[in-house]
């Protein structure tokens, strides 16, 4: 077998719900870097410390194993990291539900865990793009970035429709008008470019103690508490990370557990008894599909960013 095409059979010590855990890393249903359930497997394209990789992972098989294949220079790295990606590191033993709703959610989703990629920059770029916009805008902006400036994934990745995020040097070279054509405003594009300019330092955070990660992330221009929490969740599987500042999280947790929507301050006070597992509370509320009733109209995408720029025509969002 070639070194850039490797296979692994991994036997988790619990009934691992592969698709659900991998889905934590997906940026909307049209995420170009991931495709779930294609040809009986789940596909992911990533830039690892060893180079690009296409990873294909099976669902849990009848014998309790998970089969994976990887192509590209990052194949060995991705297969070594597979258990962490699927939540093998995540320990719920010290978590106390403290509420009947959470206890029921935990029983119904007993095998769900937090996965982690170990790739901070991979999570940071889309998290910045998702700042302070509707989900529709956020996911469309990231799709456009990957489709316009990303690269073909190794091996069969292109055939199944997954692509790599742009390399940091590519991001640094994208002109301002091209960001606008992707409906990514100057504040967010500057933050993405500045993060890409510090790509090596950002990815070195994977080797630092978890207690240091938030401050290090928030020292980057344009990265606040919400963005840092999103990266901590995806790249580090941090059970204490809470996305304060999200339009829905505080309201939905408050409604699900008290019958009254919270603001961020109320959510922070309410979650304090769960430290260092505060992030598991909104995680379980989301897993159970609990959210306050949506009575008003959906927030509309902004329309003031140009749909056409420098003759490029309509963005491929």
Number of domains in the chain: 3
pLDDT band of 137, cuts 50, 70, 90? confident
Listed residues 91, 109, 143: the one ending a domain: 91
Task: Give the CATH number for residue 152.
Answer: 1.10.340.30
Instruction: Assess if residue 113 is contained within a domain.
Output: no
Residue 38 lies in a domain: yes
- With respect to residue 305, please indicate whether it lies within any of the assigned structural domains: no
**Tens of pLDDT, residues 258-304:** 999 999 999 999 999 999 999 999 999 999 999 988 765 544 444 44
Contacts of residue 63, defined as CB under 8 A and 6 or more positions apart, other chains included, come to none
What b/e string do you get for 236-254 counting C-beta neighbours within 10 Å, with b at 16 or more? Answer: bbbbbbbbbebebbbbbbb
One domain for residues 46 and 145: no
Tokens of 31: 């995420």
79 and 155, same domain (yes or no):
no
pLDDT band at 308 (very low <50, low <70, confident <90, very high): very low
Q: In what order do the strands lie in the sheet with 5-10?
A: 5-10, 66-71, 51-58, 41-48, 34-38
> Do 131 and 175 have their domain in common?
yes
* Count, residues in the chain: 317
Summarised one tens digit per residue, pLDDT across range 31-40 is 999 999 999 9
The dihedral formed by the CA atoms of 93, 99, 104 and 109, expressed in degrees to the nearest 10: -40
> Which of the four pLDDT bands, split at 50, 70 and 90, describes residue 167?
very high
Q: pLDDT band at residue 132, thresholds of 50, 70 and 90?
A: confident
Residue 275 structural domain: 249-287
Are residues 178 and 220 both part of a single domain?
Answer: yes
String of DSSP letters for 114-138: ----S-HHHHHHHHHHTTTS-HHHH
Q: Find the mean pLDDT for residues 71-77.
A: 98
């Amino acid at each position: 077998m070639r070194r850039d095409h490797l296979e692994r059979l991994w036997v988790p010590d619990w009934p691992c719900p592969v698709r659900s855990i991998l889905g934590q890393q997906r940026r909307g249903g049209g995420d170009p870097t991931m495709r779930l359930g294609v040809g009986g497997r789940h596909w992911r394209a990533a830039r690892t410390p060893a180079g690009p990789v296409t990873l294909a992972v099976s669902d849990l098989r009848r014998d309790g194993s998970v089969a994976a294949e990887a192509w590209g220079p990052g194949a060995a790295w991705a297969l070594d990291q597979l258990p962490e990606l699927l939540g093998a590191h995540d320990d719920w033993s010290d978590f106390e539900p403290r509420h009947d709703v959470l206890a029921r959610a935990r029983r119904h989703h007993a095998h769900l865990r937090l996965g982690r990629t170990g790739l901070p920059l991979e999570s940071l770029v889309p998290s910045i793009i998702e700042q302070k916009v509707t989900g529709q805008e956020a996911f469309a902006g990231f799709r456009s970035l990957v489709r316009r400036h990303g690269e073909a994934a190794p091996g069969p990745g292109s055939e199944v429709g997954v692509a790599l995020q742009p390399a940091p040097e590519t991001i640094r070279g994208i002109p301002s008008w091209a960001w606008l054509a992707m409906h990514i405003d100057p504040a967010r594009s500057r933050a993405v470019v500045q993060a890409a300019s510090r790509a090596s330092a950002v990815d070195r955070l994977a080797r630092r103690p978890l207690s240091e990660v938030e401050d290090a992330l928030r020292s980057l221009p344009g990265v606040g508490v919400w963005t840092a929490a999103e990266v901590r969740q995806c790249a580090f599987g941090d059970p204490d990370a809470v996305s304060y500042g999200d339009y829905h999280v505080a309201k939905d947790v408050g409604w699900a557990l008290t019958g009254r929507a919270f603001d961020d301050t109320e959510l922070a006070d309410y979650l304090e008894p769960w430290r260092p597992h505060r992030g598991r509370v909104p995680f379980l509320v989301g897993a159970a599909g609990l959210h306050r009733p949506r009575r008003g109209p959906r927030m509309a995408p902004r329309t003031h960013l140009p749909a056409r720029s420098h003759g490029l025509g309509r963005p491929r969002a």
